[in-house]
Amino acid sequence: MMDVVLIDAGGANIGSVRYAFERLGVAARFSADAEEIASAGRVVLPGVGAAANGMSRLRELGLVECVRDLKQPLLGVCLGMQLLYEGSEEGDVECLGLLQGRVRRLQGGPALRVPHMGWNTLQAVRPDALLEGVRADAQAYFVHSYAAPVTDDALATCTHGETFAAVVRRGNRMGAQFHPERSAAVGARLLENFLDMPA
């Protein structure tokens, strides 16, 4: 049985992420214990809310260095993905620094509401095992007001007035800006691919 830990840093979506793994036959568990997180086979950093609050919670729990030092596959979801970057405009906060770049507020426009909420198309940038079996024009479900830049780490992008990173990977550090737990077959496939990653 795959050993999956969800970092319990106060993300509002943590229960639904655990249920998404349960649908795949995996009993993921919550933990805020650095030793337990460090020894897990797979680690997920969920998150909904503000970057400053998310980083503050990780600091309070003494988990910043723990997450930075992880060698096993790590998946950030929504805010959890944004926290993998060097920093965020949201609260002008320093983040984990595992991926290069700074998260910025979506600009929106007269016909483009922020937050970006609902189904939108993924645009594949380069092939990767994390997106194996996901169509190049697949739809995923987003809810966010801030977004990561398109860098060499981007596997797929999405456009809402501007183009931003939707799925990223650098080695064993991965992220999805969309919500896999709310993205039907596309989200399930991404989580399955994450589970299949070599440690």
pLDDT at 63: 97
Helix (H) or strand (E) holding 101: strand 99-105
Catalytic annotation, residues: 78, 179, 181
Residue-wise pLDDT for 109-130, tens only, equals 788 899 999 999 999 999 999 9
What is the average per-residue pLDDT within 170-197? Answer: 97
Dig out the tokens for 121 from the structure.
């198309």
What is the average per-residue pLDDT within 74-95? Answer: 96
- DSSP character at residue 145: S
**Range 4-196 classified under CATH 3.40.50.880:** yes
Neighbouring CB atoms inside 10 A of 27's CB total 11
pLDDT band, very low/low/confident/very high, at 11 (cuts 50, 70, 90): low
Greatest Cα-to-Cα distance within the chain, rounded to the nearest angstrom: 49
Helix, strand, coil share of the chain (percent; to 5) = 25, 35, 40
Residue-wise pLDDT for 133-143, tens only, equals 999 889 999 99
What is the average per-residue pLDDT within 142-171? Answer: 97
